[in-house]
Homo-oligomer: A and B are copies of this chain.
Amino acid sequence: MTTAPERRPLPFAGVEEILAALRAAGHRVSAPASQVLAALFDADGPASAEHIAAQPPGLDLTSVYRNLERLEALGVVSHVHAGHGPGLYALARGSDREYLTCDRCGRVTTLEPEALDDVRDILHGRFGHHARFSHFPIHGVCSDCAHGDAGRAHAHPHGHEHPHAGAA
């Protein structure tokens, strides 16, 4: 799951529907698989594999990564690289989400893709570049951090953000 995910996200309603899709794709539904899904449904924003593995009974990290990989191949999950930390995984309901991340507090803001259509148009017109902000987000400083505390913000004063979940 290290390369850019280009498969279409699937629309789906609940865990059961996804488990059915897994079985339909020839996969088995094991306890870790459902726990990973449950964690993704619980999270309110992209979450790291480590965060997902830490859900109650305690999952093996390798298994979490392999489940995320399967789910991503199915179009049910996508991941984003928000800075230096671990990749963050989220359910890929409907169309591709795009992200803004704050380099100071680590906040990840999820956007509907249309919200950046004009930006994409500018980049395409000017450079012929087809920009995507879904796998590698737009970095910068969020409004809170910009004026709020004149610099470093609430969450992670070191600039070494450890984002496990952010805003939806």
Which A residues lie at the B interface, using CB under 8 A? 2-4, 81, 83-84, 100, 102-103, 109, 111, 115, 118-119, 122-123, 126-133, 135-143, 146, 159-160
User: What 3 A-B pairs come out closest when comparing CB atoms?
Assistant: A128-B143, A131-B140, A136-B139
Please give the distance in Å from A138's CB to the nearest CB on chain B. 5
What are 16 A-B residue pairs whose CB atoms fall within 8 Å in the complex? A4-B103, A81-B84, A102-B129, A103-B135, A118-B122, A119-B119, A119-B122, A127-B143, A129-B138, A129-B142, A129-B143, A130-B140, A130-B143, A131-B138, A133-B139, A138-B138
Work out how many copies of this chain go into the complex. 2
Please give the distance in Å from A163's CB to the nearest CB on chain B. 14
| Cβ-neighbour of A4 out of B2, B115, B133, B159 (below 8 A) | B159
Known contacts A2-B84, A4-B159; is A132 also within 8 Å of B142 by CB? no
Q: Nearest chain-B residue to A103 (Cβ)?
A: B4
Contacts A100-B127, A136-B139 aside, 8 further interface pairs with beta carbons under 8 A come to A4-B103, A4-B139, A100-B131, A109-B127, A128-B142, A128-B146, A130-B142, A131-B138
| B contact residues around A146 at 8 Å (CB) | 128, 130
| Cβ-neighbour of A3 out of B111, B123, B129, B159 (below 8 A) | B159
